[in-house]
């Protein structure tokens, strides 16, 4: 069955540390990939997306993600986190086509950044 795995459920970092959150999916066809962020008490909002082209995509607030097709991965990175990056991060994969199209969500990674 198609699935999205986020390997880290809880991550705690100090400010200025580097961040990498893993996301892997199981599907052999064409995919569109997304990272969403949910700040405490708020709704989800799009952080970045990959549809095609350069596999290294840049999003808001200094985040980037790299699509590695051979590894079915779309890991999220940030070189230096800030306290304001404390949030929950969700990876989502849009796969299939037409009536078989679906959006699969990971369970999320909770990031806490200590000042």
Which residues of the chain form contacts with other proteins (CB under 8 A)?
A: 9, 32, 34, 36, 42-46, 49, 51-52, 90, 92-94, 101, 103, 105-108
CB of 65 to other proteins, least distance (A): 14
CB of 32 to other proteins, least distance (A): 5
State which residue, 38 or 66, has the beta carbon closest to other proteins. 38
Is the four-CA dihedral 68, 54, 56, 1 of positive or negative sign?
Answer: negative
β strands within 6-108, DSSP E? 10-14, 19-21, 24-26, 31-38, 45-50, 56-58, 64-68, 73-78, 87-95, 102-105
Whichever of 9 and 115 has its CB closer to other proteins, that residue is 9
Residue placing its CB nearer to other proteins in the complex, 16 or 102:
102
Q: How far is the CB of 77 from other proteins (least distance, A)?
A: 20
d(CA 47, CA 35): 5
Stated length of the chain: 115
């Amino acid at each position: 069955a198609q699935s999205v795995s986020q390997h880290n459920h809880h991550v705690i970092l100090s400010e200025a540390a580097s961040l990498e959150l893993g996301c892997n999916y199981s599907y052999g066809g064409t995919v569109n990939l997304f990272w969403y962020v949910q700040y405490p008490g708020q709704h989800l909002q799009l952080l970045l997306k990959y549809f095609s082209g350069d596999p290294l995509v840049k999003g808001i607030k200094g985040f980037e993600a790299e699509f590695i097709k051979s590894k079915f991965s779309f890991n999220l990175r940030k070189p230096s986190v800030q306290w304001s990056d404390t949030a929950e991060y969700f990876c989502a994969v849009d796969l299939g086509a037409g009536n078989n199209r679906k959006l699969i969500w990971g369970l999320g990674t909770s990031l806490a950044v200590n000042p």
